[in-house]
Amino acid sequence: MKVLLVGNGGREHAIAKKIAESASLTEFYSIPGNPGINVLAKVANTENTPESIANWAKDNNIDLIVCGPEIPLVAGLADAALSKGIPVFGPKKIGAMLEGSKIYSKRFMEKYNVPTAPFVVLEDYESAVEYVKAHPQQYPMVIKADGLAAGKGVKIATDENDAIETLNDYMVKGTLGEAGKKVVIEEFMPGEEMSVFYLTDGKKFIRLIAAKDYKKAYDGDKGENTGGMGCYAPHQSLTEELSDKIENLVMPGIKRGFAEENFDYRGVLYVGLMLTKGGPKVVEFNCRFGDPETQGIMPLIDEDLVKLFYQAACGNLEYEEIKWKDLYAASVVVASAGYPGSYEKGKEITFETSMEDYIHAGTKEVDGKIVTNGGRVLNAVATGKTKEEALNKAYELAAKVKFDGSFYRKDIGS
Ligand code: AMP
Ligand code: GLY
């Protein structure tokens, strides 16, 4: 099978490694790729837009497109490729809107009784300010930009000034561009967060093992929210009781909604949950795998990934469950100083072992050298018979790579 992988982050490199192991694979391409992925796949020489990717895939007899990130899906990659008869692992635009628009996704949850925080939609600055002024008791107040904002579109406002400043940034100054012109304001839900991932062909939903993501930049959950600074899997808090609650309270509405809205959703549904006293509630949906959770999940899958993704992409998942290796996985993100705020790029990376021992997230090759090209630069990933063994091995690896300003959390797994 000829596979084209779309994306250039750590998540895609982790998927690429698993695709490369598949017995069904005959040829492997990626766009845009990164130095880690390029060891495994040839770069597809075309523009990185849905139409060009679909045309290139058609001209090159690609059997399956696997899309890692949300942006191409929200932009209609699956629609473009499916219209040419090419199966895509990743939903069409209508399903991707569950991530692409908070307003759309909250209204979906309301319509299908999916437990979530009560919310209002505000489409202009004046009415948003009026709402804030009329609700002095509602702090902390959660303000969400409607559109995609690369993880920067949610503010937990602590008081009225904070709320109005956020609304001014999003809706007047346009700090998030079009994404922030409309907002959702919702109730704050206290509790622990957990993400669960479902592989689906639109009809059958197979839950994957859970991974614990460490979102804050520094040890002890200090500092700003990031895309995720590391993970381990399987997540130990996903008990059978919690699993039953998720399946009985959260999933029925989602499944009904998917069927009634005719999403024909093929790929991964990421359900971000808050485990509140009143039971699990949905914080957000994403239309793709998590990053860095994928780096922890992929090494544990004991199946042919291409076969699995192909069946889902064809709307015909024959699997009833997925076999998992009896191991733990851990991933430690090595990041650039300043991340998740501003940081410098282009720092040369020194590998004590080999660049191929790491998952590449934000790297680039310049004149034969590997340099930093993002906030999250590399993932040190390892598996082990116990969680401790996996973590120790991942940390040993993390200590063997350096660049100017590199840092990583020392407490992943705690
Ligand atoms: P989202 O992009 O909707 O997942 O929001 C980003 C992060 O903001 C979440 O991972 C939570 O940590 C936090 N968050 C979002 N909505 C709420 C809420 N209603 N209550 C508490 N925390 C929230
Ligand atoms: N690690 C969180 C995310 O991928 O959205």
Residue nearest ligand 2's atom 2 by CA: 290
Atom of ligand 2 nearest to the CA of 231: 1
Residue nearest ligand 1's atom 9 by CA: 283
**Ligand 1 lined by 293 (C-beta under 6 Å):** no
Distance of alpha carbon 45 from its chain centroid, rounded? Answer: 26
**What pLDDT does residue 75 have?**
97
The ligand whose atoms approach the alpha carbon of 193 most closely is 1
CB atoms within 10 A of CB 129: 18
**Rounded CA separation 289/312 (Å):** 14
**What pLDDT does residue 237 have?**
80
**What pLDDT does residue 59 have?**
97
**What pLDDT does residue 192 have?**
86
Size of the chain in residues: 414
Residue nearest ligand 1's atom 8 by CA: 154
Bridge partners, residue 75, by sequence: none
Rounded alpha-carbon distances, angstroms, from residue 138 to 163, 183, 188 = 11, 16, 8
| Ligand 2 center from residue 279 Cα (angstroms) | 22
Distance of alpha carbon 189 from its chain centroid, rounded? Answer: 21
**What pLDDT does residue 318 have?**
96
Q: What percent of the chain has pLDDT over 90?
A: 94
CB atoms within 10 A of CB 233: 28
Atom of ligand 2 nearest to the CA of 151: 5
**Ligand 1 lined by 188 (C-beta under 6 Å):** yes
Query: Is-contact 289 197, C-beta < 8 A?
Result: yes
**What pLDDT does residue 124 have?**
95
Q: What pTM, to 2 d.p., does this model score?
A: 0.95
Q: Tell the CATH topology of 2-93.
A: Rossmann fold (3.40.50)
Report residue 120's pLDDT band, with 50, 70 and 90 as the boundaries.
very high
**Ligand 1 lined by 272 (C-beta under 6 Å):** yes
Domain boundaries, the chain: 2-93, 124-181, 192-313, 328-402
| Ligand 1 center from residue 250 Cα (angstroms) | 17
**What pLDDT does residue 103 have?**
98
**Rounded CA separation 380/80 (Å):** 35
The ligand whose atoms approach the alpha carbon of 272 most closely is 1
Report residue 344's pLDDT band, with 50, 70 and 90 as the boundaries.
very high
- Alpha helix (H) ranges present in 281-386? 293-297, 305-313
Query: Token pair of 61, please?
Result: 């007899």
Give 123's DSSP letter: -
Atom of ligand 1 nearest to the CA of 190: 21
pLDDT tens digit string along 238-274? 888 999 999 999 999 999 999 999 999 999 999 999 9
Atom of ligand 2 nearest to the CA of 291: 4
Choose which residue among 12, 195, 268 to substitute to test ligand 2 binding: the one with the highest number of ligand atoms within 8 A of its C-beta. 195
pLDDT tens digit string along 53-85? 999 999 999 999 999 999 999 999 999 999 999
**Rounded CA separation 334/317 (Å):** 36
**What pLDDT does residue 236 have?**
79
| Ligand 1 center from residue 117 Cα (angstroms) | 10
**What pLDDT does residue 272 have?**
93
The whole-number average pLDDT for the span 344-369 is 97
**Lookup result for tokens 């505000």:** 122
From its phi and psi, is residue 367 left (phi > 0), alpha (psi between -120 and 50) or beta?
A: left
Query: Token pair of 390, please?
Result: 């996996």
Confidence check: pLDDT of 151 > 80: no
Average pLDDT, the chain: 96
**What pLDDT does residue 56 have?**
98
Q: What homologous superfamily is domain 328-402 in, according to CATH?
A: Phosphoribosylglycinamide synthetase, C-terminal domain (3.90.600.10)
Measured from CB, residues less than 6 Å from any atom of ligand 2 are: 213, 227-228, 286, 290-291, 293
The whole-number average pLDDT for the span 319-329 is 96
Cα dihedral 26, 32, 37, 40, rounded to 10, equals 30
The ligand whose atoms approach the alpha carbon of 99 most closely is 1
Q: What percent of the chain has pLDDT over 70?
A: 100
pLDDT tens digit string along 200-241? 999 999 999 999 999 999 999 999 888 899 999 998 788 889
**What pLDDT does residue 182 have?**
97
Query: Is-contact 341 347, C-beta < 8 A?
Result: no
**Rounded CA separation 295/125 (Å):** 40
The ligand whose atoms approach the alpha carbon of 102 most closely is 1
**Ligand 1 lined by 193 (C-beta under 6 Å):** yes
Architecture of the domain whose range is 192-313: 2-Layer Sandwich (3.30)
CATH for 124-181 (3.40.640.10, 3.30.1490.20, 3.30.420.130, 3.30.70.260): 3.30.1490.20
Q: Which of 304, 301, 262 is nearest to 91 (CA)?
A: 262
Q: Which of 289, 296, 286 is nearest to 231 (CA)?
A: 296
Confidence check: pLDDT of 150 > 90: no
pLDDT tens digit string along 2-27? 999 999 999 999 999 999 999 999 99
